Structure 1
Amino acid sequence: MSSSGASPSPDASLASPTQEHAQVTELVVRTVIDPREEADKVRSNGPGLHRGVVGKPCYFSVDYSRAEGGKLGVSLVSPRQIVQRRAQLVRAPPESGYHYMFTPVCGGDHIVKVTYAGEHVPGSPFRVPVAKTSPTVQKNPMWIKAAANAAEVKCSGPGLTGGIVGRQATFTVDTRSAGDGELSIDVQYDKFVENLPKMKASFELNPADGSYFASYTTPEAGLYRINVMYGGQPVHGSPFLAKIEPR
């Protein structure tokens, strides 16, 4: 005997989802950029941020590759507004290895302002003392004339702890309280790598205060030893260990 009742239909709400159930709500997550934090990631270096001489180009670089969400601003204020245009910042030639340059036409303090996302980057504004003429230096200023005290040499700057491959790393060496001695600086990869010899760091006298501005550029990422010697002896803290990051 066949059943007189038909099988019940499945619940429509379970068999086929309604339009409301089928909709997918897209959640958009926006990252809030902190201008101050991003500006702190910018690095500025180069001799043009430390001193200059009238009539000679002052070079410096600004690395903002690790910052995001902001706009870089670089400006210059010279002691005399009347010569501001002649001392304005321009893009440096690529072969110089720097991003910016200016040629001061008068002595005195020049102010270089570097901002990112409207915030000053570390060190900015930079006070750049400009001398009217180059200091008188002996042809061989490194010649040892008296016993030197390497323990009195003071080294400081970001290049002593790190940098980026292919970009100039800088630091200062203050020998003013250490007597007369021979300064030498070399940079050595922390591990032996074939065909990668020691490199000599370049350094030059800062006419503003008599200290030395040193710089070096490494070909590969890794740990490097910065050996700073004065009067044949290592200075306090030498060798310094610098971590060079890839680009």
Structure 2
Amino acid sequence: STGPYTITIKYGGDEIPYSPYRIQSLPTGDASKCRLTVSIGGHGVSSLHKLQTSEDTVITVDAKAAGKGKVTCKVLTPQGMELDMDVVENHDGTFDIYYTAPEPGKYVITIRFGGQNIPKSPFQVMATNEPVVPRDTVDPLFRPVNFLVPFTPQQGEITGEVRMPSGKTGRPHITDNKDGTITIKYQPTERGLHEMDIKYDGNHIPGSPLQFYV
């Protein structure tokens, strides 16, 4: 986040000359121009005030007009644990955040762009076992696509890219399950045949590219 910081540098237990250093962290871009869309279980909802437990929530931050910067996200659980969430940066200036609330209760979701809170962040969110809105009153989107793939990453980087029927590209969210498998999640925005590359250190993993219909 932005603001003043104090950096202390020591050598052999003693501070080096001129330490501590006082610096100012400045924002990059304009977080006020970020826009948010939310889908729960593949259906669009109007705001980030309620979540449904055990349903995939996809939070998309549109930062096209915000300039240069990165999106970060933290979730404060009902037990007071603060979790850093993975953020998927897409090629079109948007960022996707995937989260599934494990239990009912009050959550606080903080989303920043370039170190600054986006509009209305931090979000006070209540998770419930009940559907957030009736199914017939929400905007229909496509349900998230999930794959469980046997693969064990080592020290390298695992990346993904989805080619949509229109020719556009997107990025899936990839999680190492630490059990010899990876979970791949993707929120489609188009209907038709999609092709997904999953690469490890620049090389296709076994079974890649994957094809799926929406």
TM-score category by the smaller chain?
A: 0.3 to 0.5
Greater strand share, 1 or 2? 2
- Give the TM-score taking structure 2 as reference length: 0.41
- Give the TM-score taking structure 1 as reference length: 0.36
Which one has the largest radius of gyration?
Answer: 1
